Structure 1
Amino acid sequence: MIRLLRRYPLPVIVLAQLFGTSLWFSINGIWLSFARQLGLDEADLGQLTLAVQAGFITGTLTLAVTGLADRFGASRIFAVASILGAAVNAAFVLAAGHAPMDFLLRFATGLCLAGIYPLGMKMVIAWTPRYSGAALAWLVGMLTLGTALPHLMRGATAGLPWEWPLLGASALAVAGGALVWLLGDGPHLPASSGPIPLRQGLAALGNARFRAVAGGYFGHMWELYAFWTITPLLVARELDRAGLSAGLIPWLAFTVIAVGALGCVAGGRLSRTLGSEWVARWALRISGLLCLVYPLLGGLPAGLLVVLLLIWGVTVVADSPQFSALAAATAPRASVGSSLAVMNAVGFGLTLPAIWLTSGLWSHAGVWVALVLLPGPVLGLWSLARGGRGSSVS
């Protein structure tokens, strides 16, 4: 069994990533039935989503400044984080609707995710040292599918208690942790460097090219998680306008988010010939255009707007692995890990106000909250333009 897993390490890692990151939006997947039962609204959804983001940011910064990710095996941290994340996610069943315990449990889920997503990247490096924008595209693609998975589970368990898909996500996380535990650490794991001073990660910002790439990533992050948060609300609106059953909401929400995985993989393939920056620029341009035109076209037939949502789902995340590849290529060689950790922490920090604004304004502005996302792609493109065109990364 172990020998078989080690023959195909990359598929094992991305599958474990898919299972582990199903915890991320597990509440969003059950939100409509969950909210009706407990009398919650979109602002409450935003608060619980913010708790996960805050926990993830706290966890990644902790790993960056303490060197814990270098002191212990990446596979062991991944496995333990998956099991603990599964436990706190399952415990939400008991705390649902009881503040602040529900908020604290979602925060703890974010902390655990910090041991899953970044450590998955480290394991890719350890097992396949020649990773590129194309390889990272598979990893981010699995993160995207993991984000969408709770919506699929909600659709597949329609008519059953909302607790079932929530516990299903926990079971998947345990399975992912077990796979990585059996796989173990790769033969090309970077040597431990001990605790990493925060200033070492911040030093990369002195490089103009790295600042340009980081600025593009920050703009991308402003849009990405806020869009994923309001996806069920957007699809619910279109299904209601089309007179279709609300039971289709989780299926369509899953599809809109999950097609982003195809965008990641396709972008990875394009990056081999056109370069990572080309992919990132075009993804930002298209998703930014959709932020602008979607509310303006709100009166068009629902079917056409669903098509726009699918295109948006593809492009909103297609640039994510390419920004990681570009940042790794432009960061100082001695501090790639800490530079990426700081960039990720700042990027996820920007998701907090974006999620808070879009979820909080939905009941008042409806589909027009898409305009709140527009500054992200605009500022991302501006940052890349200021930094000029660097070397292509594939």
Structure 2
Amino acid sequence: MTMMQWLTGPNGVLFSSTSVIVVLILMLFMSIKLYASYRNKVTYRWLIAAISLMMAKQAVLIGLAFSRQSLPPWIYLASSLLGIVSFIIINFVFMKLYTYRTAQLRSLPFLIMAGATGALAAAQYAVAPSGSGTSGEGLIVSFPLLDVYMIVVTLIILLATRVADLSPKYYTGLIVYFIGELARMADAYVFHGGQPWLLLLGLLLPIVYFSLMFMLLFEWVIERLMSTYQSSIVDGLTGLYNRRHFSSKADALLKGSKSMAIIFCDIDNFKRLNDTQGHLKADIVLKRVAEIIKEEASSIGSAGRYGGEELLACISTERVKPDVVAESIRKRIESETIVTVSVGFSTSKESGSVQEMVKQADEAMYYSKMNGKNRVSSFKSLPASAKNLG
């Protein structure tokens, strides 16, 4: 027996279906974890149902391939129905997952397609299935109407999703599935098993399709995890680290560098800006100020939002002087925005803890605020009477 004969026989079906089942088991595991972890239970129920139906179809295919006797037509019909309905559901779920923020995906077209599958199956079964080859000692039963409908469904979904912002892997998967169905139909109805390479395509392309679906689901899970992680460490408005994560970054910087500084910035007259030009304008200004501080701290440290209009930077001072960085921040904000900032800074020479440095930098900023605003003050240079007043 040649390799081609082995692949295009029952063993090839076993290899193809077993490979698909392994991929589906991985997808099922992720789906169950998603169902247990997130609120959108209905979508994940559909996903679990679709994967289960797909696994059932693959199991039926294995059984049919190794059958040594004629089987009733309804078993072949069940296999076709499982394949089409599960395909419709899985595409609905993936479109729901990837478009839920940008579009309202209607379930009615998918329900109509699923309902039409049942109607066509009943009509085809009532008329008569057709034979298209042999399996063991029995005749392989096929349903031309359902096979053509599968091609139509794939084309409808492919064309309907062109305007959606979906991953290229999704469209690649649909094209792969479409080619696989065409190869299977050509082998069954045109060449009647006379072209082994068509049968081979029909067996191998489903593995590629479901592997792409697995990658899509895996990437979606990673994106959700990354999004959840980002929202736990980043301030939603400014894009800077939130207070808690900034403190951890500053602690790490203090441990990993010989010297560092905390720069504390407070936007001058920010309440007046809110009252006179509105919150939207104030938020735009706040975001721009945050961008400037982030840019100045990049490669030498990190930036964070302490609260309200109070923004901080922690920087290593091994290669730069803190007063130079602080003054650069002040100058850029004055020239690039419609506001100014009062700035204070403290270094690790004045304190050995981040919490104490933040407190000292806050006091230096307060001194700048009380002495004309739009200036930089060092905690070290503050008069004794000005300390512990912030």
Question: Do they superpose with TM above 0.5?
Answer: no
Larger % of helix: which?
Answer: 1
With the length of structure 1 as denominator, give the TM-score of the two structures. 0.25
Of structures 1 and 2, the larger Rg is shown by 2
Larger % of strand: which?
Answer: 2
Q: Give the number of the structure with larger relative contact order, counting CA–CA contacts within 8 Å between residues 6 or more apart.
A: 1
With the length of structure 2 as denominator, give the TM-score of the two structures. 0.25
